[in-house]
Amino acid sequence: MQLGMFTMPLHPPGRLVADTIEEDRQAVILADQLGFSETWCGEHYSSAAEPIASPLAFFSSLVHQTEQIKFGTGVLNLPQVHPAQIAAQVAQFDHLSRGRYLFGVGPGGLGSDFELMKLTDRQVRAEMMLESIETIQKIWTQNAPYQIPGKYWNVNISDFRYDGLGIGEMPKTYQQPHPPICLSIATPNSRSATMAGERGWEPVSANFIQSRYIRSHWEAYAEGVENIGEKPDPSRWRIARSILVTDSDAQADEYLANPDCGLHFYFHYFKRMYLDRNAFDMLKPDTNMSDEETTEEVVARSMVTWGSPNTVLDKLVELHAEWGDFGTLLMVGHDWDDAPMWQRSMKLLAEEVMPKFSQHVNA
């Protein structure tokens, strides 16, 4: 069982972006020091709360300040950028990091980005994502000249090539044939998870849904793998969850009871978006609860794995029994409204909880 970190990142929009970016950098550096295997970061253009527009640029600032941690884009929103640009930029970062890159992709997830880019049709975004990844893989596995036609983009380099000078040749990735391709999964019984299995991609179960839906991600993914005559490998499955480890249960309980804590803002953010999408049941501990009963504190207490090291360990054991085997637990990175508490939480998780949890899983 590996321990990684996933961060959107999400911060209250009133904070200075320079400060939040540095805070997120320090979280990755600490994760690397604590032995986390990987870190993931999102991509958004039009959110003051999620201000990282280029996770590759963000990660580039961390390559030489970390030693072993891998960097995953969670995700690159493929419909929003020409696939040739993504292919070249990802190849560059894969070389810069000497292969410490995980190619997380998706169709996008933020409504304001869709409006900004005039990509409000969900079916069109899905088609564009598939065309983009297929085009990118062809760029990485073919040599010039390039003639890759598509419905939404065409890649063509035929005339302006100079053999021996490299002009007209698209860069290949450091990892061969390419970095691992990973797909974020949120919807229960996701058809995207089945598609990921059929294409040899790796699934990442998102953290912003109740735990009761997570097992359906694996079942859908395993179906896709079996459709191509292969055996599903749970070690390829990543699950992201919000985790708060404190010295005592009372400390975490007091934090969660504070209406001004960062986790209340975090789930308020999702509560508003899910209400607009008519998907609020995915946040409710019980689907029979009314919308009014489902407060930010209620959601946080049900969706965050919180408490002392022993309590968090017991909760993770229960979740493992519910979900089945998986390969990597991704701790969600949150706003450091209480920096010492969150830093200690990471340390307690890595040093006290995970060794025992891994021992349990292996047994």
DSSP notation for 19-33? HHHHHHHHHHHHHHH
Confidence category of residue 341, pLDDT binned at 50, 70, 90:
very high
Tell me the pLDDT tens digit for each residue of 166-190.
999 999 999 999 999 999 999 999 9
CB of 240 within 8 A of CB of 217? no
Contacts with 29 (C-beta within 8 Å, 6 or more apart), sequence order: 62, 65, 66
CB of 332 within 8 A of CB of 349? no
What would the mean pLDDT of 77-98 be, rounded to a whole number? 98
Q: Does pLDDT of 1 surpass 90?
A: yes
What's the pLDDT at 99? 98
Domains of the chain: 2-74+180-248+304-362 (3.20.20.30)
328 forms bridges with which residues in the sheet? 2, 238
What would the mean pLDDT of 219-244 be, rounded to a whole number? 98
Q: Does pLDDT of 152 surpass 90?
A: yes
Tell me the pLDDT tens digit for each residue of 292-314.
999 999 999 999 999 999 999 99
DSSP conformation letters of 261-284: SHHHHHHHHHHHHHHHTT-GGGG-
What's the pLDDT at 27? 98
Q: Does pLDDT of 84 surpass 90?
A: yes
Say whether pTM exceeds 0.95. Answer: yes
* 64: its two tokens: 């030489």
What's the pLDDT at 163? 85
Query: Phi and psi of 267, rounded to 5°?
Result: -80, -20
CB of 212 within 8 A of CB of 319? no
What would the mean pLDDT of 30-54 be, rounded to a whole number? 97
Q: Is residue 288 helix, strand or coil?
A: coil
What's the pLDDT at 362? 92
Q: How far apart are the first and last CA of the chain?
A: 12
The gap from C-alpha 295 to its chain's centroid, in whole angstroms, comes to 25
